[in-house]
């Protein structure tokens, strides 16, 4: 027995002991070193190469954040993979919201004849233990944050497996809380959109972004597909179609750099919907968490929130959208929002867009280079009356002065490179990482 062989054997024993210790404790070890994690992952990949198939699990939290459809389809067609979907609504949402999300997820997957493992929350049944259904090899998460999933679904329960993540939103901010969350150290693969995001992660993560792969933006895989269905309630195309998409940060101090402008705009937007009923169709597209935050707000509560959402759902020229938004975007004429997830996303469609928070310069301080440029191609407001000006001059009047700079931004950052989608990049990376 050589010294090097003995050293490798001892190192493997150390790795297995540390891994077992963490799994049994169901918590992090802050001293768990990145190089130990990567060694364990490499050994697990070696095991995968000897298996007849690799079990891949996707955790679906709600329709709006489901960005793995194309990747799921690619893996399903490859006989080396067996693919599973588990419905896993947000743990920190209200039961009302969670049940709505589950209903929407079932509808989405049923329409596409996709099998999934359900979570029968309405019947009071506990969440499904993934290991009891399938022995997962690779798990794709919707979000990297610890508290958003039921305890049994959290990545801390699968430290002996490989887990991955592709952000459902375009990374364009210097978000310490995102880059430094423990998930990003323990993940096998993080599929980010740009080299800018990878460089930022290098400066903020314990493992210097060694598990980051630049793959592109999975959401954009849908953006570049043909227009499938007109989901707008108002079919009369003589009327313009405007999306209003408020964020959920209505209270300061929730870990974000700015608060949503929703509370200041709520009544005003209802007034606009009535005033422009003969010329404009409005789609209310709130962040999935907004309803939960409104029910907890001292000036709102569940009854008032339900009534407000009901207004947008029931009027002839308005509609409530809480699920998939791809065809909604494609069929629209403009957007009004303060939602960070849409700062870059809507620019893929190259249509007029207004950022309705007057504190946009403060918001930009948290953005990276690409993010700052994305904000700069938005129309801006100082007062609520500027929203009417945007509607009258830009949307109805056609005076879209920001069109040239939006075109330049799209050509510089968003156009597909080599005609290859992000899902194809991820699929190719998985295959090459496992089988070479």
Do 126 and 257 lie in one domain? The reply is no
Same domain, 348 and 206: no
Position 319 in a domain? yes
The answer to whether residue 364 scores a pLDDT higher than 60 is: yes
C-beta separation of 233 from 314 below 8 A: no
Residue 335 lies in a domain: yes
* 348 domain residue, yes or no: yes
C-alpha closest to that of 354 among 245, 219, 269, 241: 245
Whether residue 257 sits in one domain with residue 389: yes
- For residue 40, is it within any domain? yes
Chain segment 133-172, per-residue pLDDT in tens = 999 999 999 998 887 888 888 888 899 999 999 998 888 8
Asked if residue 55 belongs to a domain, the reply is yes
Same domain, 151 and 126: yes
Q: Is the pLDDT of residue 74 over 90?
A: yes
pLDDT score for 15: 45
Chain centre to alpha carbon of residue 128: 23
Residue 192 included in any domain: yes
Residue 167 CA to residue 192 CA, distance in Å, equals 7
| pLDDT tens digits, one per residue of 392-424 | 999 999 999 999 999 999 998 898 877 889 999
Residue 427 scores a pLDDT above 80: yes
DSSP for 322-342 reads -S--HHHHHT-SEEEE--TTH
Asked if residue 184 and residue 330 are part of one domain, the reply reads no
pLDDT, residue 38, reads 87
Instruction: Give the pLDDT mean for 113-135.
Output: 91
The answer to whether residue 53 scores a pLDDT higher than 90 is: yes
Residue in this structure with the two tokens 């403009």, named with its chain if needed = 334
The yes-or-no verdict on residue 272 having pLDDT over 70 is yes
Closest Cα to residue 48, out of 436, 434, 431?
434
Q: Quick one: pLDDT at residue 344?
A: 94
Mean pLDDT of the chain: 88
pLDDT of residue 30: 46
Residue 215 belongs to domain with CATH number: 3.40.50.2000
For the sheet with 212-214, list strands across it: 81-87, 54-60, 138-141, 162-165, 189-192, 212-214
Q: Which of 121-125, 176-180, 234-238, 421-425 has the lowest mean pLDDT?
A: 176-180
First-to-last alpha carbon distance for the chain, in angstroms, is 30
- In this structure, is residue 229 part of a structural domain? no
Give the pLDDT mean for 189-193. Answer: 95
The token pair that represents 365 in the structure block: 């301080």
Whole-number Å distance between alpha carbons of 359 and 381: 9
> Packing angle between helix 422-435 and helix 69-76, nearest 10 degrees?
40
- Same domain for 64 and 179, yes or no, is yes
378 and 245 in a common domain = yes
**More confident call, 37 vs 136:** 136
Coil/strand/helix, residue 55: strand
In a domain, 234, yes or no: no
Is 409 in a helix, a strand, or coil?
helix
For residues 304 and 137, the answer to whether their CB atoms sit within 8 Å is no
Nearest alpha carbon to residue 282 among 311, 307, 261: 311
Task: Give the pLDDT score at 243.
Answer: 98
Our count of domains for the chain comes to 2
Q: Are residues 179 and 274 in the same domain?
A: no
Specify whether the CB–CB gap between 23 and 160 falls below 8 A.
yes
Query: Residue 62 and residue 101: Cα distance in Å, rounded?
Result: 5
- Residue given tokens 């210790």 in the structure block: 21
In this prediction the pTM is 0.75
pLDDT surpassing 60 at residue 253:
no
Please tell me whether residues 392 and 426 are part of one structural domain.
no
Looking at the fold, whether 268 and 200 belong to one and the same domain comes out as no
Task: Output the CA–CA distances (angstroms, integers) from residue 275 to 335, 389, 399, in the order listed.
Answer: 18, 14, 21
Residue range of the domain that includes 318: 240-414
Q: Which residue has the tokens 């080299």?
A: 195
Instruction: Give the Cα separation of 92 and 345 in Å (integer).
Output: 26
Give the mean pLDDT of 297-321: 96
Indicate whether 32 and 114 sit together in one domain: yes
CA dist 356 and 261 (Å) reads 7
Is 80 exceeded by the pLDDT of residue 280? Answer: yes
Q: Check if the beta carbon of residue 285 is closer than 8 Å to that of residue 245.
A: yes
* Domain shared by 170 and 297, yes or no: no
Q: Are 164 and 191 in contact (CB under 8 A)?
A: yes
């Amino acid at each position: 027995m050589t010294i090097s062989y003995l050293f490798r054997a001892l190192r493997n024993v150390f790795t297995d002991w540390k891994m077992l210790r963490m799994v049994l404790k169901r918590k992090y070890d802050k001293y768990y070193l990145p190089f130990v994690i990567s060694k364990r992952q490499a050994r697990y990949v070696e095991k995968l190469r000897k298996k007849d198939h690799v079990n891949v699990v996707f955790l679906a939290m709600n329709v709006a954040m489901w960005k793995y459809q194309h990747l799921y389809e690619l893996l399903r067609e490859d006989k080396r993979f067996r693919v599973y979907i588990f419905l896993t609504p947000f743990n920190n949402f209200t039961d009302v919201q969670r049940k709505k999300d589950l209903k929407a997820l079932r509808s989405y997957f049923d329409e596409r004849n996709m099998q999934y493992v359900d979570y029968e929350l309405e019947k009071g049944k506990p969440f499904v233990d993934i290991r009891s259904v399938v022995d997962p090899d690779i798990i794709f998460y919707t979000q990297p944050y610890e508290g958003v999933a039921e305890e049994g679904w959290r990545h801390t329960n699968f430290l002996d497996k490989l887990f991955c993540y592709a952000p459902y939103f375009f990374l364009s901010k210097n978000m310490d809380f995102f880059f430094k969350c423990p998930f990003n150290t323990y993940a096998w693969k993080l599929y980010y959109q740009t080299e800018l995001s990878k460089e930022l992660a290098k400066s903020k993560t314990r493992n210097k972004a060694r598990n980051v792969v630049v793959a592109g933006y999975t959401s954009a895989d849908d953006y570049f597909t043909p227009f499938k269905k007109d989901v707008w309630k108002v079919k009369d195309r003589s009327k313009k179609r405007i999306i209003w998409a408020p964020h959920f940060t209505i209270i300061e101090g929730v870990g974000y750099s700015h608060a949503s402008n929703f509370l200041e705009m709520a009544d005003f937007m209802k007034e606009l919907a009535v005033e422009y009923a003969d010329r404009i169709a409005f789609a209310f597209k709130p962040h999935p968490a907004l309803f939960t935050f409104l029910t907890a707000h001292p000036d709102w509560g569940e009854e008032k929130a339900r009534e407000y959402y009901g207004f947008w759902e029931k009027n002839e020229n308005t509609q409530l959208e809480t699920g998939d938004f791809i065809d909604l975007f494609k069929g629209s004429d403009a957007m009004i929002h303060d939602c960070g997830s849409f700062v870059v996303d809507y620019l893929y469609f190259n249509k007029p867009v207004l950022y309705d928070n007057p504190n946009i310069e403060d918001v930009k301080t948290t953005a990276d280079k690409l993010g700052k440029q994305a904000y700069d191609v938005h129309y801006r407001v100082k007062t609520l009356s500027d929203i009417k000006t945007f509607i009258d001059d830009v949307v109805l009047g056609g005076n879209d002065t920001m069109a040239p700079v939006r075109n330049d931004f799209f050509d510089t950052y968003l156009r597909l490179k080599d005609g290859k989608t992000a899902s194809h990049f991820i699929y190719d990376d998985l295959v090459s990482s496992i089988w070479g």
